[in-house]
């Protein structure tokens, strides 16, 4: 399974801006970049906070963009989303029997993606209630012979930033109890943290990445305030197979020059003097 992961676009209805930015600019840049370089991906995974205020107009603008993509898309909800508004715009989005935005995608190579809904209306933290955990239990049991990767907005482990850990996944041990019971989960893709983050819980690895708009500043000192930043966004590309996870973060906003590792490039006195990448390799950048 070849998966592209991006997160936390925090879209707002135009002409509103967010922290001085137009969130659509970051998302559009990410989508253009991934379509140029990774259009052969099996799917695009977007791990929540699709919008900042849950506005239907923002969801509608997102839907128009996603409909033009060459790959299918799996959308999750975050704490900034609105489940009713999302379902009104994305009326065909898969949901479970209780109406939660959850689904499982099985790839022919033996890997499955299980996407969870951790949204709690009116709250910043995440939750997997008894109904959602029961659905997860059934989904993992049905895939006992497959490697499973899970996607969820709220990370099921702390990241060390006190203000973010305070609004993480509540009662995360209940989630881990279900995962532990089945033993087929290999990785968890999350959003919410707005930073590159890698963690591990027993045999399960966890990753998060910057959003396509604003970020969270890295500080471990205080829970009184969460500091934001305008650091560049990124997305991830992952190649998944039974027993294998290869994960790369892509700095889609980086405009620095590319070059061939050769003597001419090595002799450049400054970046502006680097010789251009010759054809046919220039098509790769």
Query: What pLDDT was estimated at residue 184?
Result: 98
User: Quick one: average pLDDT of 195-219?
Assistant: 97
Distance of CA 99 to the CA centre of its chain: 22
User: Quick one: average pLDDT of 215-238?
Assistant: 94
Instruction: Say yes or no to pLDDT of 61 above 90.
Output: yes
Residue 185 forms part of a structural domain:
yes
Domain range for 175 is 2-253
Cβ atoms of residues 9 and 50 within 8 Å? yes
Query: What pLDDT was estimated at residue 223?
Result: 81
Q: Which residues pair with 113 in a beta bridge?
A: 105, 149
Q: Is 272 helix (H, G, I), strand (E, B) or coil?
A: helix
Q: Which two tokens stand for residue 69?
A: 């993509």
Confidence of residue 156 (pLDDT cuts 50, 70, 90): very high
Residue 239 forms part of a structural domain:
yes
Query: What pLDDT was estimated at residue 190?
Result: 98
Q: Is 100 helix (H, G, I), strand (E, B) or coil?
A: coil
User: Quick one: average pLDDT of 179-200?
Assistant: 98
Query: What pLDDT was estimated at residue 45?
Result: 98
Residue 114 forms part of a structural domain:
yes
pLDDT for 7-39, tens place per residue?
999 999 989 999 999 999 999 999 999 999 999
Cβ atoms of residues 45 and 38 within 8 Å? no
Residue 189 forms part of a structural domain:
yes
E strands within 131-251? 147-152, 185-190, 197-201, 204-208, 215-216, 228-229, 235-241, 244-250
Confidence of residue 181 (pLDDT cuts 50, 70, 90): very high
Spatial CA neighbour of 2 closest among 49, 40, 57: 40
Angle between the N-to-C axes of helices 172-182 and 130-141, in degrees from 0 to 180, rounded to the nearest 10: 20
Q: How do 185-190 and 204-208 pair as beta strands?
A: parallel
Count of structural domains, the chain:
1
The residues near 270 (Cβ < 8 Å, ≥ 6 apart) are: none
Whole-angstrom CA distances from 151 to 55, 148, 190, 212, 261 are 23, 10, 6, 17, 37
Q: Which two tokens stand for residue 219?
A: 């500080």
Residue-averaged pLDDT of the chain: 97
Query: What pLDDT was estimated at residue 3?
Result: 98
Instruction: Say yes or no to pLDDT of 127 above 90.
Output: yes
Confidence of residue 224 (pLDDT cuts 50, 70, 90): confident
Q: Which two tokens stand for residue 116?
A: 């969870």
Three-state secondary structure string covering 217-269: CCCCCCCCCCCEECCCCCEEEEEEECCEEEEEEECCCCCCCCCCCCHHHHCCC
CATH number at residue 70: 3.60.21.10
Q: How many residues does the chain have?
A: 285
Cβ atoms of residues 180 and 74 within 8 Å? no
Cβ atoms of residues 116 and 189 within 8 Å? no
Instruction: Say yes or no to pLDDT of 222 above 90.
Output: no
Instruction: Say yes or no to pLDDT of 105 above 90.
Output: yes
Residue 272 forms part of a structural domain:
no
Residue 279 forms part of a structural domain:
no
User: Quick one: average pLDDT of 40-49?
Assistant: 98
Confidence of residue 52 (pLDDT cuts 50, 70, 90): very high
Q: Is 279 helix (H, G, I), strand (E, B) or coil?
A: coil
Percent of the chain with pLDDT over 90: 98
Query: What pLDDT was estimated at residue 176?
Result: 98
The residues near 173 (Cβ < 8 Å, ≥ 6 apart) are: none
């Amino acid at each position: 399974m070849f998966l592209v992961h991006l997160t936390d676009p925090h879209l707002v209805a135009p002409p509103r801006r967010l922290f001085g930015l137009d969130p659509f600019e970051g998302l559009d840049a990410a989508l253009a970049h991934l379509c140029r370089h990774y259009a052969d991906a099996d799917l695009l995974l977007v791990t929540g906070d699709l919008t900042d205020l849950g506005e239907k107009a923002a969801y509608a603008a997102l839907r128009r963009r996603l409909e033009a993509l060459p790959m299918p898309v799996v959308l999750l909800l975050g704490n900034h989303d609105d489940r009713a508004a999302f379902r009104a715009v994305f009326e065909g989005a898969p949901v479970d029997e209780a109406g939660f935005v959850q689904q499982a995608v099985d790839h022919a190579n033996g890997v499955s993606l299980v996407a969870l809904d951790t949204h709690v209306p009116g709250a910043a933290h995440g939750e997997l209630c008894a109904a959602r955990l029961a659905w997860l239990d059934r989904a993992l049991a049905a895939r006992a012979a497959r490697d499973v990767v899970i996607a969820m907005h709220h990370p099921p482990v702390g990241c060390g930033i006190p203000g973010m850990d305070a609004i993480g996944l509540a009662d995360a041990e209940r989630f881990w109890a279900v995962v532990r019971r089945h033993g087929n989960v290999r990785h968890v893709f999350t959003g919410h943290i707005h930073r590159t983050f890698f963690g591990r819980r027993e045999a399960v690895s966890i990753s998060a990445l910057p959003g396509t708009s604003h970020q969270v500043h890295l500080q471990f000192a205080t829970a009184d305030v969460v500091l934001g930043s305008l650091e560049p966004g990124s997305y991830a590309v992952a190649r998944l197979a039974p027993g294998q996870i290869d994960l790369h973060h892509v700095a889609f906003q980086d405009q620095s020059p590319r070059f061939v590792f050769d003597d001419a490039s090595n002799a450049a006195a400054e970046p502006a003097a680097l010789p251009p990448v010759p054809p046919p390799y220039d098509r790769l950048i």
